[in-house]
Amino acid sequence: MGFWENNKWQWELSWVRTFRIRDSIEWEQLHPLLLQAPIQHNEKDSLVWTLSSNGEFTVKSFYDELYKDVTPCLGSLSRKIWSGLVPLRIEVFTWLAVQERINTKKKLTSLGIIPPSESGCILCDSGPEDISHLFLFCPFAMEIWSWWWNLWNISWVWPKSLAQALSQWIFPGKGIFFKQIWFSSFIVIIWSVWRERNERIFNSKSSSTRDIKTLVLVRLWWWVKSWKLPFLYSVEEVIRNPKCLQWGSSKAPKPKISHSHLKNIAEVGSCKLILRWVVGFTPFSPSNGADGGGIYSGHLRNNWGDTLCSFSCPFPPMNPENVAVLAIHRAIQISLSYGTAGVQEISINSDSILAIRWCLSRSDGPSNLSFILNFIRSTRQKLPLFQINLQSDSNAQIRKISEKKRFVFSDEVIWEKYPK
């Protein structure tokens, strides 16, 4: 084994057979390691745990060392995955997938459940189906990833493992909303690939990558709906133009608001939605040869002061108070036509004190407006948080906005882009 020479230990190892080339290489590696271990003449041998500073074994040091190498990012991934952006069962799926704990064919082969001959990927018919192949490198999955990257003009390179891929999956741009979309897109794509793989294996049904791309958008839209944000795009709009997902940034296209949209705003119950209308009118200019009359219009704003909707409608020559009543009536009609579930409050601001007095009274007002006034009164009774307020500069505001918008002279409701 060795001997002492001038108080220094010299190794002398004897071997039962002569070295092969591989043995010589190993010995060359072992010998310097042995020389690193100083052997003391007068001291007893002891075990030293090098992973802790005092040389003693602790479970924590062992755990830290294990996780340092296996998945360096599992802690931060855990926070990202369990953030409630996607349904719980899909969070569970993602959590298991990044730890390579879902039953891919390669795993089933290693457990002896299926023979190695059946371990091929069903999506591309090549390569053994393991986590990285299935979700990252399979040509089928890759086509979906490439499509997603191209949508946002981004090039991406995958690392080796799914966990590393997810830990690096950060959108290199601004905007909290799109960053959440970006993070969710990773999960929605691997989930969609997994579902497709299962459909093919267990139900013998297959979809094209084109179908899967649509499904990715549908699922994303569906999940975004649960984020309790006033995201106004319909699923059709998102499918037609995925740039809608950049909602809140200047790159997002203008949503075409359908009837369901105010309902969607209304569904944002936790935001305590208050719909505030400013109504007023702009008379036709006599220089255009107009003989009185004009356009009455209104702008709907949310709690944050963003304009959600505008309407405009021509009126014949009539008293300004009567026009104000028509404008208030129109604002109520639009609010009610979409239902009021979840809308905490509707408030309408007008600068006609007389019109407001008629609306708030039981029976005042011109007889030719009594039908409209009664409608306003009954709405007020049905909705306790319905107010009509005096705002002295509402007409000035309306004119300022209307000049910019150049309304056409027809009854028109324009839904605005939902701002940031």
Q: Which residues bind Zn ion (CB under 5 A)?
A: 121, 123-124, 138
Candidates 177, 193, 1; CA nearest to 93 is 193
**Residue nearer to Zn ion on the CB measure, 128 or 320:** 128
We find the least distance from the C-beta atom of residue 141 to Zn ion, in angstroms, to be 7
Task: Please name the residue ranges forming H helices in 209-352.
Answer: 209-225, 235-240, 259-267, 320-337
Based on CB atoms, which residue is closest to Zn ion, 137 or 227?
A: 137
- 121 vs 334 by CB, closer to Zn ion: 121
The CA-to-CA distance between both ends of the chain, in Å, stands at 77
Task: Give CA–CA dist 212/215, Å, rounded.
Answer: 5
Beta-bridge partner residues of 278: 299, 349
CA 56, distance to chain mean position in Å, is: 47
Whole-number minimum distance, CB 138 to Zn ion, in Å? 3
Helix (H), strand (E) at residue 416: none
Which C-beta is closer to Zn ion: that of 121 or that of 187?
A: 121
* Closest distance of CB 144 from Zn ion, Å: 12
The secondary structure of 19-47 as a DSSP string is --HHHHHHHHHHHHHHHHSPPPSSS----
- Answer whether 135's CB lies under 8 Å from 144's CB: no
SS3 of 388, please?
A: strand
Looking at the Cβ atoms of 104 and 340, the one nearer to Zn ion is 104
Strand (E) or helix (H) holding 189 = helix 176-202
Task: Render 63-113 in DSSP notation, one character per residue.
Answer: HHHHHHHH-TTHHHHHHHHTTSSS-HHHHHHHHHHHTT-S--HHHHHHTTS
Q: How far is the CB of 128 from Zn ion (least distance, A)?
A: 9
- In the bound state with Zn ion, the residue whose beta carbon lies nearer, of 52 and 207, is 207
φ and ψ at 9, to 5 degrees? -80, 130
Of 290, 301, 277, which Cα lies nearest the Cα of 416?
301
Radius of gyration for the alpha carbons in the chain, expressed in angstroms and rounded? 35
Q: Report the nearest approach of Zn ion to the CB of residue 154 (Å).
A: 23
Nearest CB to Zn ion, comparing residues 209 and 246 = 209
Minimum gap (Å) between residue 135 Cβ and Zn ion: 10
- For 368, list phi and psi in degrees, rounded to 5: -70, -10
Nearest CB to Zn ion, comparing residues 139 and 175: 139
State which residue, 124 or 383, has the beta carbon closest to Zn ion.
124
Closest CB 192 distance from Zn ion, rounded Å: 14
Least distance from Zn ion to the Cβ atom of residue 125, Å: 7
Of residues 124 and 271, the one with the C-beta less far from Zn ion: 124
As measured in angstroms, the least distance from the Cβ of 194 to Zn ion is 12
Three-class SS of residue 48?
coil
In angstroms, what is the minimal distance from the CB of 146 to Zn ion?
15
C-alpha to C-alpha distance for 155 and 153, rounded to whole angstroms = 7
